[in-house]
Homo-oligomer: A and B are copies of this chain.
Amino acid sequence: MPRILTLAGAQTGPIQRADSRARTLDRLIALLERAAKDGAQCVVFPELALTTFFPRWLLSEAELDACFETSMPNPDCQALFDRARELRVGFYLGFAERTEAGKRFNTAITVGPDGAILGKYRKVHLPGSVEPREGDRFQQLEKRYFEYGDLGFPAFRGPAEWNRPVMGMLVCNDRRWPEAWRCYGLQGVEVMLMGYNSAAYDPNGGTTEGAELRTFHSTLAAQSNAYMNATWAVSVAKAGVEDGSGLIGGSVIVSPDGIVVAQARTLEDEVILAECDLDACRQGKEKMFNFAAHRRPEHYRRIVEQVGATPPAD
């Protein structure tokens, strides 16, 4: 009997800085309801789904505080949690987290159909810089505003009504790092959930990358890492022109064969959905990517013993 889990991606259009939280929550709930109506059991929202992508600006501490959640759920997003539980739909939600101790993380949680938080992840691969780049209208200041995730890559099991899948989460830039995927692969991941806010231009200040190339990279990373770890993957954008700055769309659901089975067509609020047979992971996990049979960690030590690249002498 196939182990089916119906997964959805709830891509959002831009969430402008001027938008009220109530308006944003209404949009997320509308997407959740649309996905639930189509049979979704677990809905993936983007990274930083409750706010604009604020690391594009140099902000004061007070401005910054307004972007962070100090608990989750909290009164400002309780309605989403309540509606999801009513519908018995789970979800992945990205948001900016401030801990009691004042630490700030770029975080995602997965919530089960009963409203319980199944897992929490804090983004490990923070892109951008600590100091703003002079003269640039838009910055990428994640390294300034967030600490590096301190939870590692913690896989967890979904509930029985989802057929107990091994699940993992990544946030945005993490999806381009095969190390992150492999750490989940080594925990037998069957469903990878990922939200992103990816600029439609080079966020590092270059001029050679545009929306088409960056959308291609986003899809390529999801396809190949899903294939190489024999897992389903749901990769979901906040898209469109947000506060004057372009974000790519291209949300996808990818099979363990690396095949795109659902893909967003717009840069707006849009639901993508697929019935995913978790047992489709077995072909890869038991054959080509039977790690126990084929991996040779004695030759991989560079991966943990050095950080940057050290080319041979010229």
Contacts and interface: CB of A to CB of B under 8 A. Distances in A.
A288 B176 contact: yes
Contacts of A301: 304
A278 to B, nearest CB: 12
B202 A312 contact: no
Contacts of A304: 297, 300-301, 303-304
A217 B257 contact: yes
A149 B124 CA distance: 32
The dominant DSSP class at the A interface is loop
A155 to B, nearest CB: 6
6 contacts: A152-B299, A176-B288, A186-B308, A186-B309, A217-B257, A292-B309
Given A206-B283, A295-B308, 4 more contacts: A125-B295, A166-B312, A183-B299, A188-B309
Interface of A: 124-127, 148-149, 152-153, 155-157, 164, 166, 173, 176-183, 185-188, 202, 204-206, 208-209, 213, 216-217, 220-221, 223-225, 227-228, 257-259, 283, 285, 287-297, 299-314
